[in-house]
Chains A and B, each alone.
Chain A
């Protein structure tokens, strides 16, 4: 396996993750499709990881500044996404008695 191109390893992870996503999402109840979309907004905020790596190098230049902007943008999604999902799910709780 040592000679495998990183692209192939990435592709393996990619395809398996799509499989998992496909099966998990079909089980989501239609009543919660809007919270699903809001929470996937938050999850796609994972791009913050890439943004942090872009902002990470020690010397500040155009690249790190772009990275910092991207961090702020992704943070909107992370916080906004999870919090609005929580808010919606609370509504579904109240009458769940």
Chain B
């Protein structure tokens, strides 16, 4: 194909990608959007195929990678989505590094150097940027994958002088980048790449616990920038446009997650929060606080006689695999004419929107699932709130206690309801290691036990 027809085909693909993201503004248009995305990708791949020689090898590589991807997509459990996404980011990062190496190996074939000459000056900078963003994305995502899948400890790992080490490595990396710019050869290029790979590990290692949703979103963004960086190197608009769309999407999700936790982005990146070492901070006033505990039967009675119930699910619900049971329970309540809704905090799962998917999988109707900003005004008029597997996101200290570490974090105002039921394994603290005053309020009843078991007992009690 001529260069012009290729560019036009890429334009069509780019527009289809934009429509893909646009489709996600509503569940009704989202599937059509995804279809646009597939068509766009097919156009981009087929167009590029006309520019290459080793078509058979390339098709074999696509078939190999594609079948692995298809298999994983079919098998993966929805609770494992954060790990899958992190793993995929790492692949984009590694691909970017490999392409950059290939481009440097044979710049003439890419039209970024004339035969017998060195790489163009501007391409050296672009190659440097594309490579280090790709390398950091690659190793950073592997660490994130390890933490999310439980193969590595989720605790933040910190050591003295960490930030100085990172800063030193960053400066060294730029130094070798400059050396590469002045005299493009493999030595500075490979050293620079190695430092970037190490930096990727060191940047993600100190972040853990509750901050993982931010990390996943951030690496999502990086994977886009890596693709865009390679686009600059190869003067390829398709890569630049698609990469920028992904990059800005990840950046926005990072921003939303930080805001939902009332944390400054830089603070998250520097790491060290949510490790559980603050657990001792619970109830420092020395007063033994009392709480009321009840049974599943009590919970069934209270909900069965209510007019309205709001369920506040947290990740503990998914860990206990109680989504299906809770859907069955809410169906029974709905059949009794009780208004049931689910209130979702933006950080309710392990990645943005995770809880929505987990509930959708359990066939909870999505019109019953309401975001925080929309439902917060309604708690005051609600008879019963059932908090299940959530803790910090309903801690009233975030609103009332300026000394609390989570002060200022937006919360679901469950404490305003007439009665609050909290299903929990024990009185242990949540991710942030804080005690929760909600548990000690007069209108609160604690129901101890495994979330799934408790909900099943509630269902049994409701049947009588």
Q: A interface vs B, CB < 8 Å?
A: 5-7, 10, 13-14, 17-18, 20-22, 24-58, 60-64, 66-96
**Closest 8 A-B residue pairs measured CB to CB?**
A33-B353, A75-B65, A80-B69, A56-B52, A21-B248, A79-B69, A83-B73, A33-B352
Query: In this complex, what residue of A is CB-closest to B353?
Result: A33
A50-B230, A79-B70 are known; give 14 further A-B pairs, CB within 8 A. A17-B240, A24-B22, A27-B22, A40-B249, A44-B92, A55-B61, A56-B58, A64-B102, A68-B57, A79-B65, A79-B67, A80-B73, A83-B70, A84-B81
CB-contact partner of A64 in B21, B26, B54, B239, under 8 A: B54
User: Is there a chain A Cβ closer than 8 Å to B282's Cβ?
Assistant: no
With A50-B239, A55-B52, A77-B69 given, is the CB distance from A21 to B21 under 8 Å? yes
User: Is there a chain A Cβ closer than 8 Å to B109's Cβ?
Assistant: yes
Counted as pairs of residues, one from A and one from B, with CB atoms less than 8 Å apart, the total is 362
Q: How far is the CA of A28 from the CA of B357 in the complex (A)?
A: 15
CB-contact partner of B99 in A29, A51, A75, A87, under 8 A: A51
Q: Give the dominant DSSP class at A's interface.
A: helix
Q: How far is the CA of A16 from the CA of B362 in the complex (A)?
A: 40
CB-contact partner of A86 in B34, B227, B239, under 8 A: B34
User: Which of B301-309, B364-372, B413-421 faces chain A?
Assistant: B364-372
Query: In this complex, what residue of B is CB-closest to A7?
Result: B122
Chain B contact-residue range equals: 35 or more
CB-contact partner of A10 in B25, B26, B49, B237, under 8 A: B237
Q: Is the CB of A49 within 8 A of B44?
A: yes
With A22-B252, A39-B24, A82-B41 given, is the CB distance from A77 to B88 under 8 Å? yes
Residues in A neighbouring B346, C-beta threshold 8 A = 30
With A32-B30, A47-B227, A63-B105 given, is the CB distance from A75 to B81 under 8 Å? no
Which residues of B60-117 are within 8 A (CB) of A?
A: 61-70, 72-74, 76, 78, 81, 84-85, 88-89, 91-92, 94-96, 98-99, 101-103, 105-106, 109-110
With A5-B122, A43-B245, A63-B106 given, is the CB distance from A10 to B95 under 8 Å? no
Q: How far is the CA of A25 from the CA of B217 in the complex (A)?
A: 13
Q: Is the CB of B31 within 8 A of A86?
A: yes
Residues in A neighbouring B18, C-beta threshold 8 A = 20, 24
Q: How far is the CA of A4 from the CA of B278 in the complex (A)?
A: 57
Q: How far is the CA of A30 from the CA of B27 in the complex (A)?
A: 11
Chosen A-B contacts, 13 in total, with CB atoms closer than 8 Å, are A18-B248, A21-B244, A25-B248, A36-B24, A44-B224, A48-B62, A62-B105, A63-B105, A66-B101, A67-B99, A70-B94, A76-B88, A89-B30
User: Is there a chain A Cβ closer than 8 Å to B176's Cβ?
Assistant: no
Query: In this complex, what residue of B is CB-closest to A56?
Result: B52
Residues in B neighbouring A80, C-beta threshold 8 A = 68-70, 72-73, 84, 88
Which residues of B335-376 are within 8 A (CB) of A?
A: 344, 346, 349, 351-354, 356-357, 360-361, 363-366, 369, 371
Q: How far is the CA of A82 from the CA of B99 in the complex (A)?
A: 23
Query: In this complex, what residue of B is CB-closest to A14?
Result: B240
Tell me, rounded to whole Å, the shortest Cβ–Cβ distance linking B65 to chain A: 3
Q: Is the CB of A21 within 8 A of B69?
A: no
User: Is there a chain A Cβ closer than 8 Å to B149's Cβ?
Assistant: no
Q: How far is the CA of A40 from the CA of B88 in the complex (A)?
A: 10
Query: In this complex, what residue of B is CB-closest to A81?
Result: B88
Residues in A neighbouring B89, C-beta threshold 8 A = 41, 44
Q: Is the CB of B58 within 8 A of A49?
A: no
Most buried by B among A26, A53, A87: A53
With A26-B252, A43-B17, A72-B62 given, is the CB distance from A53 to B48 under 8 Å? yes
Residues in B neighbouring A34, C-beta threshold 8 A = 81, 349, 351-354, 356-357
Q: How far is the CA of A38 from the CA of B64 in the complex (A)?
A: 20
Tell me, rounded to whole Å, the shortest Cβ–Cβ distance linking B447 to chain A: 28
Residues in A neighbouring B131, C-beta threshold 8 A = none
Residues in B neighbouring A69, C-beta threshold 8 A = 61, 98
Residues in A neighbouring B58, C-beta threshold 8 A = 52, 55-56, 68, 71
Q: Is the CB of A79 within 8 A of B73?
A: yes
With A21-B245, A76-B65, A87-B74 given, is the CB distance from A54 to B91 under 8 Å? no
Tell me, rounded to whole Å, the shortest Cβ–Cβ distance linking A80 to chain B: 3
Contact flags B110-138 to A (C-beta < 8 A → 1, else 0) = 10000000000010001000000000000
Most buried by B among A32, A60, A69, A81: A32
With A44-B243, A46-B243, A63-B105 given, is the CB distance from A93 to B57 under 8 Å? no
